[in-house]
Structure 1
């Protein structure tokens, strides 16, 4: 068994089709802008940031054997990711995500991750009975897990012996899928990365700030949490400590992928031995740099 991966990224790897405009938008707006296509998905966004921090992520996902899938796998490999264990389906198309962003933020988005959901547990074969691990010899490293998987599969992961020694870092794909993280709310080795809205969904109540949300999740049994609130405060919390910081104030030019960037930067910082304070600070600055990045319009 070859457990030589620094971190496994499990979840959605797809094509992001993003339309961005410098104008503020509302329903029915028709404005000039730019439309781009680039590799995306929660697992992919996390992996790309991990690579920038010097780590080598291994992808566990489903990608079709169509031309778009071949192009996507090649792009992942060029970016420095291990794609040897990606499940390539003959009959499922490569997934896609489409979003529209204006000067006033995300206007609308549609995630077409049906192939990942249809593939189900097949994407985990290398980890459950293969070169990365088995139930009797579980993987012992870092795993970044995104909530685009089905609730059934996430429940299986939460209970599987193959994951019992891993350092699990879990994030929902969107507020609409936040409830899929419930199996990890009382998990003994999981760290949850959520925003304020997602924390409220998991706790079935509203929160006004990241610190109260972190406390709410810990009260529900979470081992460790990181709660963000856009340009407002972010909190990392465990039974031993609560730490809150405010991100740098920047001009926001893009939002898709910001949470994934934050999560990856935090994971990489801790992997390097950073303190809790240092890791949160680096993650907030990485996310701020990302959202303020130059985007041609």
Structure 2
């Protein structure tokens, strides 16, 4: 869907009886252009008939962390235990929130279930997320806990050197809260979970929503332990090498080991596996096929947002029913787009930008 078509759909939701001339006047286009956009929306199935009867919009729900991110960028090689000259940048972050923003930039309707404090950071996050097109209407707001904060120091290569996360408020994403939002999860085309969630919340989600396709971002080796015995309840998982070792119990030192780990996941019930290997590429598979995708050579500006872009792309591809190979290539290209900007979320992330990168990389 184009950005203009999205604008027209929003206007039709507010006033299904609006005329094409009124649409044209509001958008500053000709009536004939408005008619063409309406016709295209009907062909794509978003408008079902006369009177602008709208199809219920498919959406992805992301359940996970929303933070304020503080990143430190050294100007020279980082010296441990010393004051380093550099730049400091504050921006919206959090694994779940970052995935949600990438999805929105890829044209996917997305709802975020997260917890924010009733403080300045929370107000800023809410405003920025809404500006990015994320539906924040179902978040939990707490007077007792501050909004999550993530402090990260990068090295001179743009890789994370050390980080501290204050995420106590995520405990408010409780089983009770999830019960209240059951209708949101039930009707989602995909539900993406990150392991910042409390373990009992993760367990409840996986055991009570059997018609939902769950995607997993393990976040870290420590947090991956929360879902080790529930891994078969996920449709798609995206661990890195170390997280895959924790989840499968296998030592991964070769392509044969990667295949062994993938087969373990399939035996448990996982439908698709994407093991990210950094510079060594990506091992991806489903029960009928698996292969190793070599990583193109790139010079990262900031590596912290690549995984979030990759996960968002996986969900986008799932909504488009793309093949394993096409999904792997698209998600890889999306992660490389993310790597190329100092912001965690590339401001120009879009389907067109990813497709352009695919052509550049000859994927």
- Under a length normalisation based on structure 1, what TM-score does the superposition of the two structures give? 0.88
Q: Which has the higher helix share?
A: 2
Quick check: 1:209–1:229 contact (8 Å CA) kept in 2?
Answer: no
Q: Which moved more, 1:41-50 or 1:22-31?
A: 22-31
Equivalent residues in 2 for 1:120-159, closer than 5 Å: 120-128=174-182, 131-132=183-184, 138-159=186-207
Shift of the 140–291 alpha-carbon distance from structure 1 to 2, 3 Å rule, reads closer
Among candidates 56, 66, 69, match of residue 13 of structure 1: 66
Separation in 2, partners of 1:57, 1:219: 31
State the match for 1:64 in structure 2: 117
Separation in 2, partners of 1:266, 1:292: 19
State the match for 1:192 in structure 2: 237
Among candidates 204, 215, 227, match of residue 249 of structure 2: 204
Aligned with 2:107: secondary structure? coil
Within the alignment, does 1:182 sit opposite 2:235 as a pair? Answer: no
Aligned with 1:231: secondary structure? helix
Shift of the 17–236 alpha-carbon distance from structure 1 to 2, 3 Å rule, reads same
Equivalent residues in 2 for 1:168-247, closer than 5 Å: 168-187=214-233, 189-209=234-254, 212-220=257-265, 221-223=268-270, 224-247=272-295
Among candidates 119, 123, 142, match of residue 89 of structure 1: 142
Aligned with 2:304: secondary structure? coil
Unaligned residue ranges in structure 1 (runs of 5+): none
CA RMSD of aligned residues (A): 2.1
Per-residue deviation, 1:210:
6.3
Aligned with 1:152: secondary structure? helix
Task: Give the length in aligned residue pairs.
Answer: 285
Separation in 2, partners of 1:30, 1:79: 35
The C-alpha deviation readout for 1:95-142, integer Å capped at 9, x for no partner, is 1111000124211011111101244224424432xx525xxxx33521
Within the alignment, does 1:36 sit opposite 2:89 as a pair? Answer: yes
- Under a length normalisation based on structure 2, what TM-score does the superposition of the two structures give? 0.73
Unaligned residue ranges in structure 2 (runs of 5+): 1-54, 344-363
Within the alignment, does 1:108 sit opposite 2:162 as a pair? Answer: yes
Aligned with 1:17: secondary structure? strand
Within the alignment, does 1:258 sit opposite 2:306 as a pair? Answer: yes
Shift of the 3–39 alpha-carbon distance from structure 1 to 2, 3 Å rule, reads farther
Q: Which moved more, 1:43-52 or 1:201-210?
A: 201-210
Query: Quick one: higher RCO (CA 8 Å, sep 6+), 1 or 2?
Result: 1
Shift of the 86–5 alpha-carbon distance from structure 1 to 2, 3 Å rule, reads farther
Separation in 2, partners of 1:211, 1:79: 42
Quick check: 1:254–1:292 contact (8 Å CA) kept in 2?
Answer: yes
Separation in 1, partners of 2:296, 2:206: 35
Q: Which structure: larger Rg?
A: 2
The C-alpha deviation readout for 1:134-158, integer Å capped at 9, x for no partner, is xxxx335211111101222212222
Separation in 2, partners of 1:195, 1:215: 15
Separation in 2, partners of 1:152, 1:199: 22
Q: Which moved more, 1:215-224 or 1:173-182?
A: 215-224
Quick check: 1:117–1:150 contact (8 Å CA) kept in 2?
Answer: yes
Quick check: 1:142–1:168 contact (8 Å CA) kept in 2?
Answer: yes
Separation in 2, partners of 1:146, 1:74: 22
Q: Which moved more, 1:255-264 or 1:201-210?
A: 201-210
